[in-house]
Amino acid sequence: MADKQKRSFPVLETAGILLGILWLSPFYLMIVNAFKTNREIFQNVLGLPSEATFQNFIQAYIDLNFLRALFNSTMITAISILVIILFSSMAAYALARNKSRLSGAILLVFVAAMLIPFQAVMITLTSFFGSVNMLNSAGLIFMYLGFGSSLAIFLYHGALKSIPLSLDEAAKIDGASRFQTFWYIIFPLLRPISVTVAILNVIWIWNDFLLPSLVLSTSEATIPLRMFAFFGEYTRQWHLALAGLTIAIIPVIIFYFFAQKQIIKGVSEGAVK
Amino acid sequence: MRNKDVSFWLFLSPVLAALGLVVLIPLIVGVFYSFTDWNGLGFSQFIGLDHYARLLGDERFLSSLWFTIQFAFVTVIVLNVMGLGLALLVTQKLKSSNLLRTIFFMPNLIGGLILGFIWQFIFISVFGDLSGILGIEGLNGWLTTSTTGFWGLVILTSWQLAGYIMIIYIAYLQSIPEELLEAAKVDGANPFQRFRSVTFPLVAPAFTVSMFLTLSTAFKIYDQNLSLTNGGPFNSTEMVAMNIVYTAFSSNEMAYGQAKAVIFFLFVAVIAVTQVYYNKKKEVDM
């Protein structure tokens, strides 16, 4: 076994690296062409720009109203995730510590709700929320709790089964209330699941387009919504469109760079369970 | 916590309220509205199955459904082959394994809308240019026909999601005990036989997970459809999700859109339930 581990596979290694380069080529093409003029893109789409100018980026940044969109995206994503983590873990705790048939049925409803596609509810949902003036970011966050709690509860419930009941009982003897037991004893133990839930929901909510497009006004627009409007304004002006796309991707790349291990681990756990 | 405990219900109430108001009630009321002339504000009468009857003769809807089924079928196969292939590649103890894993997974983190715009540029400008350089006529005019639009969507979706499916297969591949493969090797099994008789049966559960995921994802795709082809040319690459959005929010036929959404829901639910049932049964047999 030891010699096998050390052996190198030059053919596979080369093939892998070539495939990796091919995989990244869309990003390469986006970035190099974002530095060119529209005319240069038509003359030379594959090569490096003849002179690097940040003009496209400056204009795209301004027209995207990027700082505002970044702020909106960050607030909506962060608050939604905190709400999902808190309320889903509480609910999963209640369900896991209640062995009744009712509790099992409620869990089943949450799991079954994962099968309902968004399109099946979006028309009545937006109509209801519109009639009570909740088509805004507060309403959107509540909707994310509704759509996101199922998977979160499912993941928390799985983890809670392995947390011994004796911890709850010890806390109870010490005079802790239900909520204190949950908040000080149980919730900290669920940290790994909370990280998984946070990562899965960041990827979903940050990139979500259809739901916020039906709910948010222009002033509350997130990055994908701004990007959609921006792209529509600059059809066939690829130099600006590509600069805008590059800017829109930067926050995700930074996030990936710093949290790569947790992201891959979280996604893997979320999918396999 | 018992059923009658106040704390049980307090802990559950926020998510129950959210799930009820956001998912369950809109679904139930939506099914009800699909039998009425609801216009988004109110309804005046029941019209029974009129919307459903109309839907059967709605060529645009039926062609979007057929397009979606073909797309889902091809994408599921491509994604699983690529996902398993990439997973096998990066688990070969290559020096670049970790780097490659990072690279293959990266498109997953970026939304389908943004990726669709990037690929629109590639299919239109870069493919056009490559066609001149390489002298391949077939690279010209991508996204201007329904066939190139179809394959454009398959390429975009496969590139975006293959890394995700790869991660699922890696999790299963890594759970295969080394001794099993070693034993097979000692018994004289060649690499193909080891894959066929040891690795493959042991990663079978990964097919449940990833086929279910890819099929329902492919069926529900909207963002990529919107940003890459916007349904064009002449609605020939419009998928069901986009057709429903168009009916409800552009033609403002709310109840009719809802009827389509109910049919769509049934499709997705049947796929999901069959898939899980079938794969679970198969796993037990092995």
pLDDT tens profile A104-138 = 999 999 988 988 999 999 999 999 999 999 999 99
Closest alpha carbon within chain B to A206 = B111
> A38 is in which domain, residue-wise?
2-53
User: Is the pLDDT confidence value at B59 over 70?
Assistant: yes
Residues A79 and A42 in one domain: no
Least confident among A13-27, A126-140, B202-216, B270-284 = B270-284
A58 lies in some domain: no
B181 versus A139: which is more confidently predicted?
A139
CB-based contact A186:A118 (threshold 8 Å): no
Which range of A48-57, A121-130, B43-52, B190-199 scores highest in mean pLDDT? It is A121-130
CB-based contact B121:A236 (threshold 8 Å): no
Residues A167 and A39 in one domain: no
Closest alpha carbon within chain A to B93 = A5
Closest alpha carbon within chain A to B241 = A119
Residues A141 and A21 in one domain: no
Would an 8 Å CB–CB cutoff place B24 in contact with chain A?
A: yes
CA distances from A160 to A82, A92, A201 (A): 19, 8, 20
Tokens at B68, concatenated: 């979606």
Residues A42 and A67 in one domain: no
Strand partners, B46: B36
Residues A82 and A185 in one domain: yes
Helix (H, G, I), strand (E, B) or coil at A121: helix
Residues A47 and A129 in one domain: no
Environment class of residue B133 by beta-carbon count within 10 Å: exposed (0-12), middle (13-18) or buried (19+)? exposed
Residue A8 confidence class, pLDDT cut points 50, 70, 90: low
Rounded CA separation A223/B78 (Å):
30
**How many other CB atoms sit within 10 Å of the CB of residue A98?**
20
Would an 8 Å CB–CB cutoff place B90 in contact with chain A?
A: yes
A155-175 average pLDDT score: 92
8 Å CB contact of A116 and B222: no
Residues A68 and A48 in one domain: no
Q: Taking the C-alpha atoms of B24, B26, B28 and B29 in order, what is their torsion angle to the nearest 10 degrees?
A: 150
Question: What kind of fold does domain B50-285 have according to CATH?
Answer: MetI-like fold (1.10.3720)
Cβ contacts of A182 on chain B, cutoff 8 Å? 11
Rounded CA separation A59/A77 (Å):
26
8 Å CB contact of B11 and A120: no
- In Å, how far is B273's CA from the nearest CA of chain A? 9
The pLDDT, as a whole number, for residue A234 is: 85
CA distances from A208 to A37, A97, A121, A221, B50 (A): 31, 34, 16, 12, 34
Q: Taking the C-alpha atoms of B173, B178, B183 and B188 in order, what is their torsion angle to the nearest 10 degrees?
A: 60
Q: Which of A245, A252, A263 sits opposite B117 (nearest CB)?
A: A245
Residues A70 and A40 in one domain: no
A144 lies in some domain: yes
Percent of chain B past pLDDT 90, that is, above it, reads 59
Q: Which of B105, B110, B264 sits opposite A207 (nearest CB)?
A: B110
Residue A270 confidence class, pLDDT cut points 50, 70, 90: confident
- Give the number of domains in chain A: 2
At CA A136, angle to CA A130 and CA A141, rounded to 5?
Answer: 110
Cβ contacts of B16 on chain A, cutoff 8 Å? 91, 106
Rounded CA separation A263/A197 (Å):
10
Rounded CA separation B226/B237 (Å):
10
8 Å CB contact of A267 and B8: no
User: Is the pLDDT confidence value at A4 over 70?
Assistant: no
- What's the DSSP call for residue B124? I
Cβ contacts of B125 on chain A, cutoff 8 Å? 33, 41-42, 45, 238
Nearest to A186 by CA among A251, A91, A111, A105: A91
Residues A76 and A104 in one domain: yes
B 176-235 near A (Cβ less than 8 A): 178, 182, 209-210, 213, 216, 219-220, 222-223, 226-227
A89 lies in some domain: yes
Residues A48 and A70 in one domain: no
Residues A209 and A74 in one domain: yes
The pLDDT, as a whole number, for residue B79 is: 95
Nearest to A110 by CA among A124, A90, A92: A92
8 Å CB contact of B102 and A206: no
**How many other CB atoms sit within 10 Å of the CB of residue B273?**
13
A262 lies in some domain: yes
Q: Which of A30, A53, A76 is the last residue of a domain?
A: A53
Strand partners, B36: B46
Cβ contacts of B225 on chain A, cutoff 8 Å? none
CB-based contact B236:B230 (threshold 8 Å): no
Q: How far is CA B181 from the centre of its chain?
A: 33
The pLDDT, as a whole number, for residue B280 is: 67
Q: B68: number of CA atoms within 13 Å, CB side?
A: 27
A135 lies in some domain: yes
User: Is the pLDDT confidence value at B203 over 60?
Assistant: yes
Q: Which of B33, B92, B273 sits opposite A124 (nearest CB)?
A: B33
A152 lies in some domain: yes
Q: Which of B11, B129, B227 sits opposite A93 (nearest CB)?
A: B11
- In Å, how far is A174's CA from the nearest CA of chain B? 17
Q: Which of B92, B102, B219 sits opposite A260 (nearest CB)?
A: B102
A97-108 average pLDDT score: 93
8 Å CB contact of B114 and A88: no
- In Å, how far is B266's CA from the nearest CA of chain A? 9
User: Is the pLDDT confidence value at A73 over 60?
Assistant: yes
Would an 8 Å CB–CB cutoff place B81 in contact with chain A?
A: no
Residues A227 and A259 in one domain: yes
Rounded CA separation A27/A32 (Å):
9
Q: In CATH, what number is assigned to the domain containing residue A220?
A: 1.10.3720.10
- What's the DSSP call for residue B132? H
Predicted model pTM = 0.92
CB-based contact B221:B150 (threshold 8 Å): no
Residue to test with chain B: of A119, A125, A149, A178, most B Cβ within 10 A: A119
Cβ contacts of B249 on chain A, cutoff 8 Å? 214
Closest alpha carbon within chain B to A241 = B117
Tokens at A238, concatenated: 């690829």
A79 lies in some domain: yes
